[in-house]
Structure 1
Amino acid sequence: MNIQLNQKSDKPIYEQLKSEIIRLIMSQQLREGEALLSMRALAKQLGISVITTKRAYKDLEQLGYIQSIAGKGTFVAQGNTTMIREQSLKQLEGKIKESIEMCKELNIERHEYEEIIEFLWEEL
């Protein structure tokens, strides 16, 4: 798995790990039914605590992205891609709504907002 964590980020490591796994699933770099590394193996590979990977995996399972099967391992959940995409779009809409509300509070014009988005889109 190509997971990038930033030790200097304000975002907790387990949240970064969770976001990275979601990114890999949504981009289909991790496919439905594919086995994930064990919590211990992933922690060792990334140089982080097993507790951190356990928390990320637990959250991902609760959100429906992965499923654990006793004695077999942890896998990307099957049949949920459309539902997960809809949930992700709903979260995105909420964040965009917050940013638009902030723009209105700061008297930032729509064209300025669009310029910011275009700049950031190209930068990332």
Structure 2
Amino acid sequence: MDIIISNSSGKPIYEQITEQVKNSIITGALQAGEALPSMRLLAKELHISVITTKRAYEDLEREGFIETVAGKGSFVAQKNMEFIREEQLRKAENLLQSAVDVARSGGITLDELREMLTLLYNGD
């Protein structure tokens, strides 16, 4: 599992870990039942505190992305992919609502907004 920590990011390290693990699960890079590195091992690899990795793992478990088995470790949860998709749709909807609000207040038309979205989505 490759996790890259940025000290220049405005996000706390535990959030960076949480987001990257979630993304790996959502994209299928991490499969259901797959073991995650122990908190101590991950902390050692990233040169961070075990408390930081513990916080990230606790957040991931609370949100249902991983399961921890006492004495065995943490594993990717058997998560319903439809639930994950719904969560991603909700996040996208919230971000798009913010974009619509900015566009309206700035006099940007729906066609202009649609064109921007298409360009961004297609990577042009």
Same fold (TM over 0.5): yes
Question: Equivalent residues in 2 for 1:45-124 (5 A)?
Answer: 45-121=45-121, 122=123
Partner residue of 1:40? 40
Percent identity, please.
45
RMSD of aligned residue pairs (Cα, Å): 1.7
CA offsets 1:31-77 (integer angstroms, 9 cap, x no match):
00000001111111112221111111111111111111111100000
Q: Give, as a single letter, the amino acid of the residue that structure 2 aligns with 1:36.
A: L
Task: For structure 2, list consecutive stretches of 5 or more residues without a partner in the other structure.
Answer: none
TM-score (normalised: structure 2):
0.87
Q: Distance in 2 between matches of 1:42 and 1:48?
A: 8
Task: Return the alpha-carbon distance in structure 2 between the equivalents of residues 38 and 21 of structure 1.
Answer: 13
Tell me the matched-pair count: 123
The CA deviation at 1:29 is 0.5
CA–CA distance in 1 between the matches of 2:119 and 2:51? 38
Q: CA deviation at 1:86?
A: 1.2
CA distance in structure 2 between the aligned counterparts of 1:6 and 1:116, rounded to whole angstroms:
29
Query: 1:90: how far off?
Result: 1.2
Q: Which amino acid aligns with 1:65?
A: F
Which structure has the larger Rg? Answer: 2
- In the alignment, residue 107 of structure 1 is paired with which amino acid? G
Aligned: 1:8 with 2:19: no
Name the stretch that deviates more: 99-108 or 14-23: 99-108
